[in-house]
Amino acid sequence: MFIEYFPGMTLLHKLDVRTKLLGFIVITATAFMFTSPLINSLLVVFCLLLLWSSKTPMDNVIKLIKPLLPIFLIMIVLTGFSYSTSNFKSPTMHHVWFKLFSNKIEFTSGGFFYGITLLLRILIMVLLSTVITYTTPIEDILQFLKKMRLPHQLAFVIATGIRFIPTMEKKTRMVMDAQRARGHEFNSGGMIKRIRSFIPVLIPVIVDSIRMSDNLAISMLNRGFGAMDTTTDLVEIKMNKKDYWMIVFEVVILAIAIWAKTLNYGVL
């Protein structure tokens, strides 16, 4: 599941792409500074507030997160068993819930809560990237890449790849629905059979993607793409007062996080 850009008039829609990317870096860096799940939970709540303020469809966000749930569960189990009590400073994190294999492997409270922290960090990055994708036109991302001195051909490839992810996702769902209408089953049998069941989907999608890339290449050649070393944009991205105030706010958040880190806040 991939969230497309949706035009809007919210504050996040009006912010410059550079401001939003800086916010992504600041919040992600803050999440990685602290191992406490409490602080990272607060950051998740903040990200959800950003989603709500940008009017992002929560149903799409849930569909985006749902496939990650098994990974989150495995992550918690692995960290619970792999992190011993010596890795944590807090006495409450030294509690051992149970032991396996003749008491050789311990499932610790510290490992469990650190696993929660890891999944919250992933969740934060997913939610923030969703906010940026939903509120930022692909043209703005392309301009940003060019302003970073990236060759415009490479910037175009990256931006086009991002743009066609939701398109290919829709085509994949259409092919799967068409195959189901013909009586094809995707979730029956063992793992090998399930993998083979996606071959009737994979082949049409690959063929259609090749056809799309050929049409795009012809369209680009007809428009003289690559004839000039530089390109011009219809609308130039510019930062306004809201962007500068938001950047100040982001820098303050980062400074507070660094200060709290030096005082050993948010440590398991």
pLDDT at residue 230, as a whole number: 67
Half-sphere exposure of residue 160: CA atoms within 13 angstroms, side-chain side: 12
pLDDT at residue 233, as a whole number: 67
- % of the chain exceeding 70 in pLDDT: 92
pLDDT at residue 143, as a whole number: 82
Locate 33 and state its tokens.
């500074």
- Model confidence pLDDT, tens digit, residues 15-61: 998 999 999 999 999 999 998 889 999 999 999 999 899 888 888 78
Confidence of residue 171 (pLDDT cuts 50, 70, 90): confident
Of residues 49 and 162, more confidence is placed in 49
Block residue for tokens 């219809």: 234
Locate 90 and state its tokens.
């807090």
Element (H, E) at 99: strand 96-100
Count how many residues are written for the chain: 268
What is the arithmetic mean of pLDDT over 93-116?
Answer: 76
pTM comes to 0.76
How far CA 62 is from CA of 1, 66, 124, in Å, comes to 9, 6, 14
As a whole number of angstroms, the longest Cα–Cα distance in the chain is: 71
- Model confidence pLDDT, tens digit, residues 63-102: 878 878 888 888 888 887 887 777 777 777 777 777 776 6
Give the span between the Cα atoms of 84 and 86, in whole angstroms: 5
Residue 4: is its pLDDT beyond 80? no
- Model confidence pLDDT, tens digit, residues 172-214: 888 888 888 888 777 777 777 777 777 888 888 888 888 888 8
> What integer best gives the mean pLDDT of the chain?
82
Identify the CA nearest to 8 among candidates 130, 128, 136, 127: 136
pLDDT at residue 35, as a whole number: 86
